[in-house]
Amino acid sequence: MSWITEYVRPKIRGLLRREVPDNLWTNCESCNQMVLTKELHKNQNVCPHCGHHMKALVADRLSWTFDNGDFTRIELPSAPVDPLGFRDQKKYTDRLKDARSKSHVDESLIVAHGTIGGHSAVVAVMAFEFMAGTMGAAFGERFVAAARLAVLQKSPLVIFTASGGARMQEGAISLMQMPRTTIAVQMLKEAGLPYIVVLTNPTTGGVTASFAMLGDVQIGEPNALIGFAGPRVIQDTVREKLPEGFQRSEYLLDHGMLDMVVNRKEMRETLGRVIGLLTRASADVTAPPPVATPEPAASAPA
């Protein structure tokens, strides 16, 4: 009797009182099915029930993109903090501190280099977890640095976009990053290097109106929201019902704004294949034509 009361009963009580961690399950925002978080992460944050592509953290995106998950992050230049001394409900500097603490990244763009499908590549990933991936002065500095690194290494630049647009706390300075990033893209084109854009959910605002639509190849993840203004704003403006799937990847593919829509689990293989084709074509274009060597003149008969 003592064995039951002293050993078995406490064990049963411990099992009954054990608390389930809050992050054990994840609810799919598309089909509302519950998915084990661990299994979801193994599936690259793609719902196994409906195939919905959930948001991805920067570290995961880099790991999924590079060969064997091996990459080297680069140190990126800083920019003036709070150039306008902006304050709404709290100071802009306090918002930045909170965002860095919660997201574990220091800005909305992270850059790394490594190989994809055996090809050298520079990859920039927008961090939606940092202030909704908004674009400010620091973002512009980092984008230019990524383009310069690609030119230095003679490698293609791949960028994964995920953003709510310009960062309102930086006002016109944020909008100035649109032409700045466009010039950086032109640097790549003048160097004859591929620029590949992967648009993920959501990609909106000034990001869509600048570098996100300038890729040599435009790839979208399934059902990603891509546009300048949101569909609700557009519908309220034009006062007409929008087509089904308006501003989603598949709609843009049908209307010629995307080159392909690729499942996340096939993205690395697709990028490797595209980079291989583009770098080979670039090498063929830039290679000097063969110089014909004259044949030695035949000697006159004696």
Residues 178, 243: Cα–Cα separation, whole Å: 29
pLDDT digits (tens, 9 = 90+) for 258-268: 999 999 999 99
Closest CA to 115 of 266, 275, 260, 261: 275
Q: Which amino acid is at 70?
A: D
Say if residue 302's pLDDT is above 60.
Answer: no
pLDDT digits (tens, 9 = 90+) for 119-173: 999 999 999 999 999 999 999 999 999 999 999 999 999 999 999 999 999 999 9
pLDDT digits (tens, 9 = 90+) for 64-100: 999 999 999 999 988 888 889 999 889 999 999 999 9
Residue 280 pLDDT class (50, 70, 90 cuts): confident
E strand or H helix at 158, and its extent?
Answer: strand 157-163
Q: What percent of the chain has pLDDT over 90?
A: 75
Q: Which amino acid is at 240?
A: E
- Tally Cβ neighbours within 10 Å of residue 250: 14
Q: Tell me: cis bond preceding 202? Omega within 30 of 0 counts.
A: yes
Residue in the structure block whose two tokens are 């089909």: 31
pLDDT digits (tens, 9 = 90+) for 178-210: 999 999 999 999 999 999 999 999 999 999 999
Average pLDDT for the chain: 89
Instruction: Give the pLDDT confidence score for residue 83 in this predicted structure.
Output: 87
* 34-36 and 25-27 strand pairing: antiparallel
Residues 124, 142: Cα–Cα separation, whole Å: 9
